[in-house]
Amino acid sequence: MDEKAPSVTARSLTSHRSAKASLAELYSHFKSRDHVLITIDPDPDAIGSALALKRLLWHKVQSTTIGIIRPIRRLNNLTMVRLLRIPLVLLKDVSVDAYTRYLLVDSQPHHNDFFRRLSYTVVIDHHPLNTPVAAPFTAIYPQYGATATILTQYLREAKIKPSQGLATTLLYAIKTDTRNFERHTTEADIDAFRYLFRYANHHIMRKIEISDLALSDLRYFQKAVARKHVARDRIFAHLDEVPSADILVEIAEFFLKIHDISWSIVSGIYEGHLIISVRSDGYRKDAGRTVRKAFESIGCAGGHQAMARVEIPMDKVTTILGKASSRNIEAYIRRQLSPM
């Protein structure tokens, strides 16, 4: 890359540029001959944001590809991608060197080992910024409930009417990341939602929302209930090997519905990593800050006030625990995250 990549810190994000100025700056970093790779960890907000960015770059670059770091396994997301025919490719199947520009949405380079490898031209996100991000263009606004809100503002500024599929994807992204406006939400999120609502396909939206679980997932709920451990207002469950990290999210959100439970911490082993999914009521402590303090020195850890995620390579878990047995892992997580 021949562009200077300034380091962006949290201090520089107390106020942000107008959508008009931000969009003009975004476009200034691309040439018509560019081949663009947008990398994402494929949850609804990331998928919707990437699709919007791809639309913004239409006719402005040679090509735009959306690459995902892992296969999609959550049924809601699979249904969305299938019904809306969203073009995604697995990054393991892509020759990364064939691209001239790398873009990252709904995440930051330090959130994942794959992301750390690339030199990004653009980073757009709404997660809290705790590690400086070096990129020529950054739009990192933690005050927003969804990255999709930022991209919707760009679409409106560009006077691009979203297609039905794009509007549906962005609408679902905002609903998902704000938990139907029950957690961290701003007027900008509500405004974006109202704008997109008129263009979305609500029959498809309903189908996406009810496609939660497969019959085979019930055994993991059964296992989690059998293994649950409650420490004051926190409930823990470790599930050993799981077929997808998404099942940990489903169970963590399910456990948070229990009366007198303020924190739900569900863990499992997936693709050689210990994954810890954390959900909280967001009322007292910050889940993202809590997991960073507990695990950032040994893995990827972060999130929002009410939701967070940890990924630790199993070789590091073995180094720390000596023997990475189910009992040792459970005890370690409870020790790190139990209330003081």
The lowest-confidence range among 58-62, 105-109, 212-216, 291-295 is 212-216
Report whether pLDDT(9) > 60: no
Does residue 12 sit in the same domain as residue 120? yes
What is the distance between the alpha carbons of residues 238 and 277, in angstroms, rounded to a whole number? Answer: 10
Does residue 116 sit in the same domain as residue 93? yes
CATH number at residue 38: 3.90.1640.10
Does residue 327 sit in the same domain as residue 237? yes
Per-residue pLDDT tens for 283-326?
778 899 999 999 999 999 988 888 899 999 999 999 999 999 99
Q: How confident is the model at residue 18 (pLDDT cuts 50, 70, 90)?
A: confident
Structural domain boundaries enclosing 301:
216-337
Last residue of a domain, one of 148, 176, 210: 210
- For residues 307 and 177, the answer to whether their CB atoms sit within 8 Å is no
Does residue 144 sit in the same domain as residue 252? no
Provide the token pair at 17: 């540029």
Q: Is 170 exposed, middle or buried (0-12, 13-18, 19+ CB in 10 A)?
A: buried
Does residue 150 sit in the same domain as residue 49? yes
Number of domains in the chain: 2
Q: Is residue 55 part of a domain?
A: yes
Last residue of a domain, one of 210, 229, 254: 210
Does residue 233 sit in the same domain as residue 200? no
**Helices marked H in 36-159 — which ranges?**
44-56, 75-84, 113-116, 147-157
